[in-house]
Amino acid sequence: MSLNRDDSPDAQPAKPAKGRIATRRVARSLAMQALYQWHMAGQSLNEIEAQFRVDNDFAGVDGAYFHELLTGVARSKTELDQAIAPLLDRPLEELDPVELAILRLSTYELMQRLDVPYRVVINEGIELAKVYGATDGHKFVNGVLDKLAPSLRSAEVRGERR
């Protein structure tokens, strides 16, 4: 299942990805969609991953990164939700499922992928929200991730502010 702004089921990345940055961007997009599907449909991760690999051209996708994001977010869901929840203006259960998937994915990257600069994680989350989220969802995602980054990447954030 793919998403776009109006939830029509066939959004695909616009261009084939080239280079590590581009292939990771597509991997993030597909992982977010797969996490949304996992949240909404309750299918097993193996089924969802297999479906995404069959239904999408993975030639321009960092497949290993897609797998890591999908399985890592699912495995760390409780820890991720505990990091996100105190920063919200409403209960986690009331979040738009697309924005929740983006926040979980971005929080996972902030916690586990120190090789990805925190500003890149935030920017990628915002871009996903602009494409797939509600009208102002990207502002919400930005606000939460901006508050979260200093607690998860304090040295990196402090170092950049100097």
Written as six digits, the tokens of 37 are 């599907």
Query: What structural domains and CATH numbers belong to the chain?
Result: 18-152 (1.10.940.10)
Q: How many CB atoms lie within 10 A of CB 144?
A: 23
Residue 38: how many CA atoms within 13 Å on its side-chain side? Answer: 26
Q: What mean pLDDT do residues 121-138 have?
A: 95
Is the model's pLDDT at 20 over the cut of 50? yes
SS3 annotation, 14-35: CCCCCHHHHHHHHHHHHHHHHH
Closest CA to 29 of 55, 58, 66: 66
8 pLDDT higher than 80: no
Cα Rg of the chain (Å, integer): 15
Residue 120: predicted pLDDT: 96
Helix (H, G, I), strand (E, B) or coil at 1: coil
Q: Cβ-count burial of 135 within 10 angstroms (0-12 exposed, 13-18 middle, 19+ buried)?
A: exposed
Q: For residues 62 and 18, which has the higher predicted lDDT (pLDDT)?
A: 62
User: What does the pLDDT read at residue 16?
Assistant: 47
Assign 128 a pLDDT band (cuts: 50, 70, 90).
very high
pLDDT at res. 18? 59
Average pLDDT (132-136) is 92
pLDDT at 94 over 90: yes
Backbone angles phi, psi at 133, to 5 degrees: -90, -175
**HEC assignment per residue over 87-154:** HCCCCHHHCCHHHHHHHHHHHHHHHHCCCCCHHHHHHHHHHHHHHHCCCCHHHHHHHHHHHHHHHHCH
Pick 98 or 19 by higher pLDDT. 98
User: Tens digits of per-residue pLDDT, 34-85?
Assistant: 999 999 998 999 999 999 999 999 998 999 999 999 999 999 999 999 999 9
Average pLDDT score, the chain: 89
